[in-house]
Amino acid sequence: MAQEYPTQRPTDLEHGSGEESIPTELNSIPWIDIHNHAQTLSWNDREKFTLSGCESMVMMGAGYYWTPYKPVEPEDVRYLWDDALNRLPQIRQSHLLDAKVGIGIHTGARVKDYDQLLDVIPEYAALDEVAAIGEIGLTEAQHVSGWSLEEQKDVTRRQLEIAADHDLPAILHTPADLEDVEFPDRIRGNIPGYELDLSLQQEPVLTSDYPKREAVEIDVELKDDAGLPGDQMVLSHMDKKIAPYVLENTDCYLSFTVSYPWLLGVSPTDVAEIVAEYGPDRILVETDSAGVLRSDIFAFKRTILEMYRMGVDVEDIRQVVYENPRELLD
């Protein structure tokens, strides 16, 4: 082998057991981001999706943090939905992305007179551009204006019913588990990289020792009440600690948010470990990237490569990042 080169000394290759075949298809696996807020990003950030192999995405039109008005009025929420829908054609065209929109009432801040919104969501759900009801689901503590658990359950259940009626998937956030999160690089303030005044957070309405699991349990009950099949519901912001519970006790999809580990603590290794242990069937990956927090869009592609390095088969990786979301979104 080495004799074609002028230097005829053995190399590492000749001491080793030979070259491993490189699965070059990893470089071209398309992926789908089922949960982001890319309509709130810059052109340059959206370009990163295309550059790193994203084929399709669902941009959540819901986001209390994107409207500065609190308590949130129904027209504030309508503005967010319509803004995402109206930007959609240019985003699709400019970035060559099969983007769609998620429509929903976020529970991160109380929304007044939310009945008015529930009345019109079915009209949005019927649009071709709308691929999901989201993001919805219980929130542990609201920003500026608190929302009782009973009302949050009501608004969530009724949106899950709309998802069931329209045969759409529902994307549900789950509370961040900040128990073990440390911010070693920040002395001042405990949430770096988030445009949110934490002093305005209200008292938690989920009060157990483990609010993330409490929220998951209630959300799953609401899904059953609403008659939405498990394979049409995604629980977002999964992590290594909650994933086994969800995989063993529910029939929902789990989605790992990989683009801001500084807050959620999810690494590509965590995703690989869960896929290795439980198989790829109900696992998804998402960026949840939004203009209000520090996030890394390339983390999605990095997760694909890292899963391979961690020993996950190429076929399983492809299922997690492409086939599963495709099936979910039909």
The residues binding Zn ion (CB under 5 A) are 135, 288
Q: How far is the CB of 40 from Zn ion (least distance, A)?
A: 10
Instruction: Verify cis geometry, omega within 30 degrees of 0, for the bond prior to 151.
Output: no
Sign for the CA dihedral angle at 288, 289, 293, 299 comes to positive
In the complex with Zn ion, the residue whose CB is nearer, 76 or 288, is 288
How far, in Å, are 13, 47, 78, 160, 209 from residue 132 at the CA level? Answer: 51, 23, 16, 10, 31
> What's the alpha-carbon Rg for the chain, to the nearest Å?
21
Q: Say which residues have a Cβ less than 8 Å from residue 187's Cβ, sequence separation at least 6.
A: none
- Where does 69-226 have alpha helices with state H? 74-95, 115-125, 149-165, 211-226
Q: How far is the CB of 308 from Zn ion (least distance, A)?
A: 27
Q: Identify which of 66, 72, 169, 174 has the alpha carbon closest to the alpha carbon of residue 113.
A: 72
Which two structure tokens, joined as six digits, stand for 268? 């590509």
Q: How far is the CB of 280 from Zn ion (least distance, A)?
A: 23
In the complex with Zn ion, the residue whose CB is nearer, 288 or 306, is 288
In the complex with Zn ion, the residue whose CB is nearer, 135 or 316, is 135
In the complex with Zn ion, the residue whose CB is nearer, 238 or 317, is 238
**Please, what's the b/e burial string for 213-244 (b: 16 or more CB within 10 A of its CB; e: otherwise)?**
bbbbbbbbebbeebebeeebbbbbbbbeebbe
- In this structure, which amino acid lies at residue 45? D
Q: Terminal CA-to-CA distance of the chain, rounded, Å? A: 50
Q: How far is the CB of 106 from Zn ion (least distance, A)?
A: 8
In the complex with Zn ion, the residue whose CB is nearer, 161 or 288, is 288
Q: How far is the CB of 264 from Zn ion (least distance, A)?
A: 11
In the complex with Zn ion, the residue whose CB is nearer, 65 or 322, is 65
Q: How far is the CB of 177 from Zn ion (least distance, A)?
A: 16
Residue nearest Zn ion (C-beta atom): 288
In the complex with Zn ion, the residue whose CB is nearer, 108 or 268, is 108
Burial zone of 305 (CB within 10 Å; 0-12 exposed, 13-18 middle, 19+ buried): middle
Q: How far is the CB of 135 from Zn ion (least distance, A)?
A: 5
